[in-house]
Amino acid sequence: MQTLSIKKKKRIYAIAFAPSGNELAAVCGDGLIRVWDLATGEVRRSAPVEETSSGFDLTYFAEDRIAFAGIHLRWWNLTEDKWHLISHGSPWGRRIKTSPGCDYLAEVNQTRSTNWTAGAGLMIRNTTDWELLPEMPGTQNTTGGVAFSRDSKFVASGHMANVGDRIRRIGMLPGFQFTVNDYEYLVHIRNFPGGEIVQTIDGWQQAVTHLAFSPDGRFLAGTAGPRLRIWDLTTNREVALHKRGTKHFQGLSFTDDSRFLATVSNDETVRIWDAQTWQERTTFTWKIGRLLNITFAPDGLRIAAGSDQGQIVIWDAE
């Protein structure tokens, strides 16, 4: 087991392994993005990031190149230690994800109301010149979850749709009521790069914030608040639904062989789910604070998780 730490007990917003697995990058709550050399445990590069209430995200798109979402969408050339602008602006809660071949970058916003526009919804750019692909139908009102299939033939994204109004009442004030929007939460699966919606999964009850295809393409895993849902894409049916109290899921990642799924909730525990039975196979409780994100190394042999106390733990998957 390896532990990486920053001096202040601030949250680790996002983590990502380099394609080689030799380094790990993290956006840290003390205002720095860091890249650690995992062989030595030393910080190879660091750079300040502008504070924003919109949150942060990052992903590698080459061994020495990181896409970073903060105040603006930018990329960092680690060899030259130089930043480059992709686009201005900071849609709320912007999340980014590269395709498996790193040819494309998907960008989504975490919309929580259709009454105001948090951003353009699902947008996809190529990573050679950062030009946007043609707009696809039904991409508005994304909720944060986005994922590419291993073969890059499909992209999944979470959305919300206004389906009418409902009455809310306050128990302490008899007779007092008001109208609020009623929403349906959906996941659209699209052909890529064409963009045609080929499947829609509804019934999530809350905003879908994390999505992952199993590498073999059979399953789509997603989280919505405290719920974890597994959908079998070959039979088009839900095969598992788990709810762990009130703690919200904060991240999920499949092993490279599709045998297991790892998740973190808003607690100190990593749960490993068996992809045959969809029951918990094992848990890891790391005393580093509440876990906020999780990812596997590209070779599938190591797992990393970041916490709200300025620490990242890395351990062997087996």
How do residues 60-98 score in pLDDT, each as one tens digit?
A: 999 999 999 999 999 999 999 999 999 987 667 789 999
Say yes or no to pLDDT of 171 above 80.
Answer: no
Q: How many Å apart are CA 25 and CA 35, to the nearest integer?
A: 4
Say yes or no to pLDDT of 287 above 90.
Answer: no
Based on the number of CB atoms within 10 Å of its own CB, is 236 exposed (0-12), middle (13-18) or buried (19 or more)?
exposed
What pLDDT shows up at residue 177? Answer: 63
Superfamily the domain 2-316 falls into: YVTN repeat-like/Quinoprotein amine dehydrogenase (2.130.10.10)
List all residues 6 or more positions away from 1 whose beta carbon is below 8 Å from its beta carbon: 313, 314, 315, 316
List all residues 6 or more positions away from 174 whose beta carbon is below 8 Å from its beta carbon: none
Residue ranges covered by each domain of the chain: 2-316
What pLDDT shows up at residue 37? Answer: 97
- Burial letters 156-188, b for 16+ CB under 10 A, else e: bbbbbeeeeeeeeeeeeeeeeeeeeeebebbbb
Averaged pLDDT of the chain: 90
pLDDT in tens, 13-47: 999 999 999 999 999 999 999 999 999 999 999 99
Q: How many Å apart are CA 276 and CA 279, to the nearest integer?
A: 8
pTM, two decimals, is 0.90
Q: Which residue has the tokens 């686009």?
A: 87
Confidence of residue 176 (pLDDT cuts 50, 70, 90): low
∠ at Cα 214 (128, 106), nearest 5°?
30
pLDDT in tens, 199-208: 999 999 999 9
List all residues 6 or more positions away from 59 whose beta carbon is below 8 Å from its beta carbon: 16, 66, 67, 96, 97, 98, 105
What pLDDT shows up at residue 162? Answer: 79
